[in-house]
Structure 1
Amino acid sequence: METLKLTDRGWFWPPVDELSEAAERIRARLGDWPRTSRAWRICLAAPEAAGPNDLIVVIGREVPDGEVAAWRGDGAAVVQASAGGATLMAPGGERFSLEGALAEDWLAALAAFLDCGFDAQDALVLALAWRDGDEMRSEDAWPVELSRFPRVAQLPPAPVLAFPACPPRLGLYPVLPSAQWVERVLAMGVKTVQLRVKDADALPSGLEDDIARAVAAGRRYDARVFINDHWREAAQAGAYGVHLGQEDLDTADLEAIARAGMRLGLSTHGYYEMLRALHYRPSYLAFGAVFPTGTKTVATAPQGITRLARYVRLLDGHVPLVAIGGIDASRLAAVLATGVGSAALVSAVTAAADPAAAVARLQQAFQA
């Protein structure tokens, strides 16, 4: 397969034949992924002129801040590795620090996962989950044992009190813009919904009243109502749970959310964000966007069914998983075929000509 040819593509500088051969051997056991559109170059020595496709790897020594800043200023990313893990320093200033053992073939594995189209931080996670000889042990060598994955370094402690558990399969999960929609959909028999208010000023009764109304509807219908973002108002109303994005982990009081007895759902868009989210022991993880979506701006490219299936296999038995992003009735069967226990939908319900009929069809897909 052409997607597996790495030896003639200048992956390493200076050229290292044995690393290129190992990368090609590993890549051949990872499945049929489209070749990355980015012309990565993994630099094992400082290049004369760094560029935006360069990943400069420094092993076993501290790099002066000025040197790193110069490389990043040229658009290159830098990986600093040691026996205890690796840190990716992106051109934009982000740092992705991972703790874990490095296999002898980790650089070859990094090249192989980059070729599968993963962002650099996610490829680095997978490279640190790699063990020498994995490509010889199975027809499908993809890392699927969570215990072998690295840990995200320098995170604050998780809340002392664990978040309550969710059912392992949350089923159909409509994301709705108002309490009125929540009441309407719960009356159709749906048991899991999320209230996601985009414009609180447009609500006739105000944000707090709308959240309280949605939470009350959840109790009335014995359903699970999650509140997006507004965790303080959700706690005040006694909500079943809240859903937060990765950016909210820097600002939300997770201890207060746990003390309130609310479940916590967290968004993830790749392996690094998955590891960061798992550190806090959430009640569920959402993975997306699976398909292109116009309902929310997402910085990452659509993840697709194949990545979702890998996620499901990795996280099965560890945490409930919700697929989200661009899912409609025509795509739901393929999503559920991955084994995921829940799918969040937005316009497939709220933009339907007949929402009740749409919900009935979507519920049938979960029962098939």
Structure 2
Amino acid sequence: MRTLAFADRDLFWPPADELIEAAERIRARLGDWPRARVDWRVCLAPPDTARASDLIVVIGAAADVQAAQAWRAAGASLIEADAGKVALKTATGARYAFEGTLAEDWLAALAAFLDCGFEPHDALVLALAWRDGDETRGEDAWPVDLSRFPRVAGLPRAPSQPFPACERRLGLYPVVPSAQWVERVLALGVRTVQLRLKDATPEQLATEIGRAVAAGRRHGACVFINDHWREAAQAGAYGVHLGQEDLEVLEAADISAILQSGMRLGLSTHGYYEMLRALHFRPSYLAFGAVFPTGTKTVPTAPQGLARLERYVRLLGEHVPLVAIGGIDLARLPAVAATGVGSAALVSAVTAAPDLARAIAELQRAFGA
């Protein structure tokens, strides 16, 4: 495969045959992935001219801060590694900090995971989960042992206890825009649903959420409320679903208040870094997406695809329920189910269906529910 040949590519600076050979050995055991959209270059010394696809690695505490700032101004990103602590700093100011184990081959692993199409912060997570010799232990050496993965540094204190558990397999999971839609899908046999309200007044929020929660109780169903956790808690909702942007603004007291409400907590994720960050908050489930292209919501990452979903299931399926979301319809649902994921969230496949009852029945059959 072309993607396994690194010798003729500008992969490391300065060129390093031993690192290239190690990267090729690792890449050969990671499976068939589309070529990365960016030709990243891992720089172990300052290049004469930095570029946006450079990841400049500084090992040890003696970083040249002034030079690093100049590299970042040119568009490069900086990786600082010292005694098990690793931080990625991008030219845009984003910072990803970890604590973990650095294998001897971690830079070669980083290059290999970048070649698999992962963004630098996710490739770095996987490189920190890598152990020397993993490529010799089977045809597929993908890291799927959660205990090996690094810890995200700088997060607020974790909740004192996990959020309440929900069912391991939440099944078909429509995401709908009103309480009336909640009532309709529950009446057709759906047992997990999310109310995602947009542009509602406080009075409308209270009314719609209260009505949706009441419908869930009548049907013995799991009704999650998107975003509006205070109103959901006041209504006694089964659960609330939050995005990564919500985690960025929530205070420790907010997390504690959600926990004390007794609600289940679902969190959106879009890659390995966000999954580790979300796990820190001990949620009831994790949602992963967007699996396929979707027009229903703007997402910060490219479509993830089934291969990544399958590996997330292998990594986390025994630890926390997982929900796949994004562009899933009837035609794609069997392939999604084949990854082993316990739930599939759908929007337009439900809300745009010309015959809702028929659509729900077909979707349930396709997912094996």
2:324 matched residue in structure 1: 323
2:172 matched residue in structure 1: 172
SS in 1 for 2:81: strand
1:228 matched residue in structure 2: 226
1:99 matched residue in structure 2: 99
SS in 2 for 1:206: helix
2:273 matched residue in structure 1: 272
1: CA distance, partners of 2:193 / 2:68: 46
Is 2:161–2:282's contact at 8 Å kept on the other side of the alignment?
no
SS in 2 for 1:87: strand
1:351 aligns with 2:352: yes
1: CA distance, partners of 2:65 / 2:222: 49
1:210 matched residue in structure 2: 208
Is 1:97–1:153's contact at 8 Å kept on the other side of the alignment?
yes
Q: Which runs of 5+ in 1 are unaligned?
A: none
1: CA distance, partners of 2:87 / 2:5: 28
1:74 aligns with 2:83: no
SS in 2 for 1:200: coil
The one of 241, 246, 249 equivalent to 1:248 is 246
SS in 2 for 1:259: helix
What is the Cα deviation at residue 292 of structure 1? 0.2
Note closer, same or farther for the CA distance 1:62–1:182 as it changes in structure 2 (3 Å cut): farther
1:310 aligns with 2:311: yes
2:335 matched residue in structure 1: 334
Is 1:161–1:259's contact at 8 Å kept on the other side of the alignment?
no
What is the Cα deviation at residue 65 of structure 1? 4.3
Aligned length: 366
What is the Cα deviation at residue 187 of structure 1? 0.6
2: CA distance, partners of 1:18 / 1:250: 41
1:299 aligns with 2:300: yes
What do the CA deviations read for 1:238-269 (whole angstroms, capped 9, x no partner)? 00000000111122311100000000000000
1: CA distance, partners of 2:45 / 2:25: 23
2: CA distance, partners of 1:251 / 1:301: 24
Over the matched positions of the two proteins, sequence identity in percent amounts to 72
2: CA distance, partners of 1:230 / 1:127: 36
What do the CA deviations read for 1:221-248 (whole angstroms, capped 9, x no partner)? 1100000000000000000000000111
Question: Structure 2 length normalisation: TM-score?
Answer: 0.97
The alignment yields a C-alpha RMSD, in angstroms, of: 1.2
1: CA distance, partners of 2:357 / 2:67: 60
1: CA distance, partners of 2:196 / 2:91: 33
2: CA distance, partners of 1:10 / 1:256: 51
1: CA distance, partners of 2:358 / 2:65: 60
2:30 matched residue in structure 1: 30
Taking the TM superposition and a 5 Å limit, the aligned residue runs for 1:150-161 are 150-161=150-161
1:192 matched residue in structure 2: 192
What do the CA deviations read for 1:307-350 (whole angstroms, capped 9, x no partner)? 00000011121000000000000000000000001000000000
Q: Which runs of 5+ in 2 are unaligned?
A: none
What is the Cα deviation at residue 108 of structure 1? 0.2
